[in-house]
Amino acid sequence: MTTRQDCDVLDQEDPLRELKHQFDLPTGTIYLDGNSLGVLPRATLGRVQEVIQKEWGQDLIKSWNTAGWIDLPSRIGDKIARLVGAAPGELIVADSTSLNLYKVLSAAIGISQQLSPERKLMVSERSNFPTDLYIAESLARQHGWTLKLVDHVDEIPAALNAELGVLMLTEVNYRTGYRHDMRALTAATHAAGALVIWDLAHSAGAVPVDLKGANADFAIGCGYKYLNGGPGAPAFVWAHPRHAERFWQPLSGWLGHAAPFQFTTDYQPAAGIKRYICGTPAMLSLAALECGVDTVLAAEPFGGMAALRKKSIALTELFIELAEARCAKLGVRLASPRDETKRGSQVCLSLDAPLHEAGYAVIQALIARGVIGDFRAGDPSRLAEVPHILRFGFTPLYIGFTDVFDAVEHLHQVLSLKEWQRPEFQKQGAVT
């Protein structure tokens, strides 16, 4: 079994180790929840203060031009495009993930109806992130479509039939970390005559993504997870150039107008992806997001996303090795794919009976020790198929190999000493 001394050596030899200095991490904290909220970059506070004090406080409205505020959604969009295999001018930062999904799903439905009016089926996974399913359900009702949810990834190929109009998937599943084969599924969907939308919330900044290479149709993603943009950071939206001007997105706001400052009463959509922006951008949030995206781009001299992915795999493989060696006899089981090619940058664990209901308390006991992961409840009626999980995200920009070793040791102690039984860890809060 890998020792802590081995991990020290791996950290010393890690070519990405200097990138950790971009962040302010609380002393004594092992942060394994970057797949929910990324860490604060050191540059963010100064940059946001500059926007507040200088650009807003002193230059006021002039900053839309002098500070380039008006171009910030496109400028940051071009930076994110480098991480997800899109070209400059194809991706825009705007609004929230949910709103952007509403835009692209509406566009995809419209295009599908133009091509094949008889197709009225939308397919996704039951384990997809709920907001994606809620938006899909809403649009299915509006357009007279049917939303079909598959229970297992093996059921997706059979759903790619002559009735399908749109397939909507999150590339890396938020619960299990399962990673879809974007290229293969996109090709299969197109062969069936349908369109595909990819949610990159757990992909962008975590795994290499090649939207153009995969020939994807639409993609959306958030800025507050692996892109380190801060809580509630703006999201992003991408449409393949062949689709970008084929359909009006439904939230036709003033800044998505072809000439927004002419203030005409009729809407004329801007060219390309710019029509997918809606209202006035939130400058403070955009400034913070740009600092976060820059922390990921800082890996480019070291090999970029390929180097980050290599370290991510090494970290998650080590976590699995140690968790199984130290905690399997205490009831811990791997709930993520063992195959590294089918796993994102997170590892999920489940607990055997009678501990299967103790997951929340275990996570709270870990947090009390300074190891921050999170808990996701399963389906009480189907715990064998959808168990409660302990979820751990591994952001290679600031997580090291000794962090992984120490986190597993804390997990072993929480379980072996039964710390999770303490009363203060039992009561579930609103955010778990």
- Residue ranges of domains in the chain: 4-41+303-425, 68-297
CA-CA distance, 409 to 405, in Å (whole number)? 6
3-state SS assignment for residue 353: coil
Q: Let me know: does 319 contact 407? Beta carbons within 8 Å.
A: yes
Q: Which of 199, 217, 294, 403 is catalytic?
A: 199
Q: Peptide bond before 301: cis, by omega within 30 degrees of 0?
A: no
pTM of the model: 0.96
129 catalytic per annotation: yes
CA-CA distance, 255 to 88, in Å (whole number)? 19
174 catalytic per annotation: no
CA-CA distance, 364 to 419, in Å (whole number)? 10
Q: Which of 23, 31, 102, 129 is catalytic?
A: 129
224 catalytic per annotation: yes
H or E segment and range at residue 389:
strand 389-393
Q: Which of 120, 179, 311, 391 is catalytic?
A: 391
Q: Which of 225, 274, 309, 326 is catalytic?
A: 225
Pairing of strands 30-31, 164-170: unpaired
Q: Tell me how far the alpha carbon of residue 41 is from its chain's centroid.
A: 18
CATH 3.40.50.300 is held by the domain 68-297: no
199 catalytic per annotation: yes
Q: Which of 310, 375, 311, 315 is nearest to 349 (CA)?
A: 375
Pairing of strands 121-125, 164-170: parallel
Across the beta sheet with 121-125, the strand order is 91-93, 236-239, 218-221, 195-199, 164-170, 121-125, 146-150
H or E segment and range at residue 401:
helix 401-416
* Digitized pLDDT (tens) for each residue of the chain, 432 residues in all: 899 999 999 999 999 999 999 998 999 999 999 999 999 999 999 999 999 999 999 999 999 999 999 999 999 999 999 999 999 999 999 999 999 999 999 999 999 999 999 999 999 999 999 999 999 999 999 999 999 999 999 999 999 999 999 999 999 999 999 999 999 999 999 999 999 999 999 999 999 999 999 999 999 999 999 999 999 999 999 999 999 999 889 999 999 999 999 999 999 999 999 999 999 999 999 999 999 999 999 999 999 999 999 999 999 999 999 999 999 999 999 999 999 999 999 999 999 988 888 999 999 999 999 999 999 998 877 877 888 999 999 999 999 999 999 999 999 999 999 999 999 998 776 555
Q: Which of 23, 178, 224, 425 is catalytic?
A: 224
Q: Which distant-in-sequence residues (6+ apart) come within 8 Å of 113 by Cβ?
A: 119, 143, 165
- Return the CATH number of the domain spanning residue range 4-41+303-425: 3.90.1150.10
- For residue 199, the cross-strand partners are 170, 220
